[in-house]
Chains A and B, each alone.
Chain A
Amino acid sequence: MDHKSHTKYLIIGGSHAGLTALDEIRVYDHEGAVTLVTKEYPPYSPTVLPYIISGKINDRSIFLRDDQYFLEKKVTLVKNRSVVAVDTKATEITLDDGQKIQYEKLLIASGAEPTLPPIPGLSPSSAFTLRTLADVQRILQEVSRVQSALVLGAGLIGMHIAECLAQKGIKVEVAEMLPQILPGYFDRECSELIRREFASHEINCYTNNSATKVETSNGKVVMNLQKGQRLEGGILIATTGIRACFDFLVNSEIRTDRGILVDDTMRTSVENVWAAGDVAQAKDFFSDKKILSATLPDAVVQGKIAGKAMVGVESISPYPGSIPVNTFNFFGNRALAIGLANPEEKEGYEIDTMYLPTAKIYQKMVFKDNCLVGGSAINSLLDPGIFLNLIRRKVDMAAVKAEFAGNPVQMSRRLMWKAWRKEEQERKRDDIG
């Protein structure tokens, strides 16, 4: 078919990065044609999926936008289609049905998908992954018939599913290759406290113990571990990581590594093409490296910058760099980890910890050069957004560090007023002065 449509702004991907960019484009350009290509419709966030399994929300009320929204924003929707090629010379993309769309500005926010490590017997037929609504439905179908379950990979999603399943009365066991649960998300102390809570709900976590073999027989899955254990369950859910989705760039000039490489305005190596969200490999806040961050807050920040850059807004605040942020709720407790909660070298860092075992409260602050660089907390009343901004804005704490460590909730609010709230209130003209 030789049908070719033309659009000013083309967005691939309809989750947080793509939708935030769309909103931002429409702040500045009310008329320019916008086309959104999305694999699934209505749009939803992968983050919400475990909550469907736990029953906290039903699968019909998770959608982020409806028809009315796209109508009002004058967006041409290309639903249930994926991209197979991007030709940056001809400035056009090709869809899986052969249709071509020509663009002036392109945003790739195609997200990520689960990966399975090379373990004998581990495959999509022996293990479930969780990234789409279809995955949720498949898991829910199985869950109704099983009494036990195995989870491979003790990351945020893995641990979350473990809790969801346990609360349905299913016996759950978790295996993790690295020495702690939630590796890369939480520091060792925090993760140990979380592990104890899971153990008290009879969820066993085998850490430092990778899977060597997976077998299925008679509706049972058997997983052998390196240290010799043999775990058996009715279902195996693998949450062993994700990879950025950009296969369709294979013949394009856009530079990629583990993700699509972008600069401070989310632009790729090619003019008029941007990338944001889980697919983008962008600046790290703490080093010069470019990293995949794959958190929702980063997708939002990146989508917003990309949207502005696509319209050609001048004086964009450049991307400050990705700061790891995680919230994790478990059995009525809340955990939070932001920034360098667990710096690899101890040199130059000042660490302040507080632990109240009976109240199950834990708090850790990491400072460097009189600035906050990270921290973690369990059941703390800290305002996570203020904490994150104290790090991002490198607020000088030389004079107040001791008081901050002793009273972080109140002091971070005070610093917020001093460092940005007052000024922004004035800029927003709320103030008659």
Chain B
Amino acid sequence: MTTIFKLPDLGEGLPDAEIREWYVKVGDEVKIDQVLASMETAKAVVDVPSPRAGKIKKLYGQDGDVIITGQPLVEFEGNATEDRPDGGTVAGALEVGNELVAETAVVATGKTQTTQVKTTPAVRQLAQQLNVDLNHVSGTGPQGMVTAADVRAFYEGKTTADQTRPATAHGKTETIKGLRRQMAISMAAAHAEVVPVSIVDDVIIQFKKEEVTERMIRAIVYACKEEPALNAWFDGQAGQRTLHSDVHLGMAIDSEEGLMVPVIKSVQDKINDPAQLRQTINEYKELAQSRRFAADQLKDATITLSNFGRFAGRYASPVVVPPQVAIVGVGRFAEQAVVVNGQLCARFVLPISLTMDHRAVTGGEAARFLAALLKDLST
């Protein structure tokens, strides 16, 4: 390539052309095909592109000058080759960056401090369904993994641990399972944590004894509104208390196997329809016999009702199960001799026992709660 670019024939043997306008000046770096000037011929105005890349050294004329076809138009600097930085490849275009970055890579050691609970995906799914925290389940499978049986056992209180006999057993010794085992575990845990205080009282009722459960529920809802401190969860470790607006009522129901406590969620919304409430209670009683409650029917109670007086017992100190802070008990009710307006008469009397966790509930709150209970029950 020569360094001097001569004016090409801009069309069909035109002898010359006039420079209308330069688009470049001396010193400019131009690219191939970049327009150098606009030239006017006898026929047309034509843009003249650069035949090469390079730096303009000289322009052979000014605006308005006439250049003869074949005569020099533009001179480029240097020798006839383009100046290209070494792209460093024969194919493609590498992105070149100059950012200095630190090397963060560390040779891996193949060791780790923390690990996941070892179990299979299927068992993880089962644990999710049963709302079992795998971290609390001890594993008996290969490599110490948690098996599905371990999860179910934790959920139902079963165990496949070794059975041990006390040396001086006289009767038939069995390892407790199922609900009985669950009871042993949760009662022990509650005892370890809760500071229980019980208050008891009586109330003369005017409703039929068949309606006791529904009226108790209604009364609890009323009392929770009056004294919300007993419809709460308490976390002793974290020192946190959660007051609930919903009343999720745990209903202690006895079955052949033992005690179950299904939960009627948001029972405050259900007390206006006594028939519906009755039906729900009956369903729960049936389900308790077959123990076919779903996992989420057994959890999240905010306060519990225990109708313990079916056979005997007037007053009791039922156990508060954390994170709840209160449990209401109803003993055996019967017609009793009471004094009303100075006259001796027979009336149905309901013995009410209230146990609360004194870490979370004050005596005054408990008393007010109880008073509200009695007030509602007496109507």
Decide whether A and B are members of one complex. no
- B residues sitting closer than 8 Å to A (CB atoms) are none
B-binding residues in A (CB < 8 A) = none
